[in-house]
Amino acid sequence: MDKIGFIGAGNAAKAMITGMARNKFDLERIYISSKSNESKERLSMDLMVTCAKNNVDLVKKCTYIFFAIKSQHYSVVFEEIKEYLDPDRHIIISLAPGYTIAECKALAGLEHLKIVRAMPNIPSLVGEGMTGIYYSNNSFTSEEKSNVEKIFKGFGEVQEVEEEDHMDTLVSISASSPAYVYIMIEAMGDAGVLTGLPRKMSYKLAAQAVMGAAKMVKELDMHPGELKDAVCSPGGTTIEAIKVLEDRGFRSALIESMLACYNKSKNLKK
């Protein structure tokens, strides 16, 4: 596979490259660039990847180029590198929810530039990421698609979506959702402390319970509601807890929060 470049050395790049390192990905092929020399040098030292001199140098060296920067910086970076982009060679991987593929092509001034929109999440840091991807057109070769998939499988799992509009939904359902789960685990831990358990033990028990429940949804061909029902014995402790969650609007709060996240992502540039 050709070299992989990350423009941006912040949390997104760090999570993905760290996940790759955990999964024994070949990091010698990775270059990083950032407007902050300190951040890229720190990431280079921590993960043993190569620093490019600047964004243009990175584009010259790499084929697969991650835009691991905030959406407000896209126009500046595209202006800087666009004369060095080759539609027959380069593949841009856009991570920001604020820009459509058409808008990225307009910024690059290259209608036939190959662009992948991708939405990874923070568990990539431990090699358990979930990334949704969408390809800009049908001009990708099977080898190029395979290479893109291999990159993302370097830090988790990949799901291709068929419509670009679905990328905004992925922000709320997989990219932002770990934050919702962290709040839940923290609250579960607080309840454990309230009833007498040490905090560290409470968090460990809660985290493993969430991980195990998620694995059952993922691996068993059963509806989540069916799995929930299997835990709720008649007149038992779990159904009592479920009643309180329903009374307090737990389900509705999650849906409403995800809709707010979805709407924000669609209007991020504004």
Q: What is the CATH number of the domain that holds 79?
A: 3.40.50.720
Amino acid 252: pLDDT:
97
Structural domain includes residue 169 = no
Amino acid 99: pLDDT:
85
State the distance between the two ends of the chain, measured CA to CA, in whole angstroms: 37
Under 8 Å between Cβ of 88 and 124 = no
Amino acid 36: pLDDT:
79
Interacting residues of 154 by C-beta distance below 8 A, sequence separation 6+: 16, 19, 20, 23, 25
Strands annotated E in 128-215: 129-135, 156-160
Percent of the chain surpassing pLDDT 70:
99
Amino acid 178: pLDDT:
96
The dihedral through the CA atoms of 39, 41, 42, 44 has a sign that is: positive
- The answer, yes or no, to whether residue 270 has pLDDT greater than 70, is no
- Residue 181 tokens read as 């789960």
CATH number at residue 204: 1.10.3730.10
Structural domain includes residue 172 = no
Residues 69 and 187 in one domain: no
Residues 137 and 76 in one domain: yes
Lowest model confidence (mean pLDDT) among 23-27, 65-69, 89-93, 155-159: 23-27
Residues 140 and 255 in one domain: no
pLDDT band (50, 70, 90) for residue 265:
confident
The number of angstroms, rounded, from the C-alpha of 198 to the middle of its chain's C-alpha atoms is 32
Q: Which of 111, 130, 163 is the last residue of a domain?
A: 163
User: Mean per-residue pLDDT for 109-127?
Assistant: 93
- The answer, yes or no, to whether residue 8 has pLDDT greater than 80, is yes
Residues 158 and 186 in one domain: no
Q: Give pLDDT tens digits for 207-261.
A: 999 999 999 999 999 999 999 999 999 999 999 999 999 999 999 999 999 999 9
CA angle 253, 16, 267 (to 5 degrees): 45
Quick one: which of 69, 62, 77 has its CA closest to 30? Answer: 62
Q: What is the domain extent for residue 110?
A: 4-163
Collapsed DSSP state (helix, strand, coil) of residue 49: coil
Maximum average pLDDT range among 32-36, 153-157, 240-244: 240-244
Structurally, how many domains does the chain consist of? 2
pLDDT band (50, 70, 90) for residue 269:
low
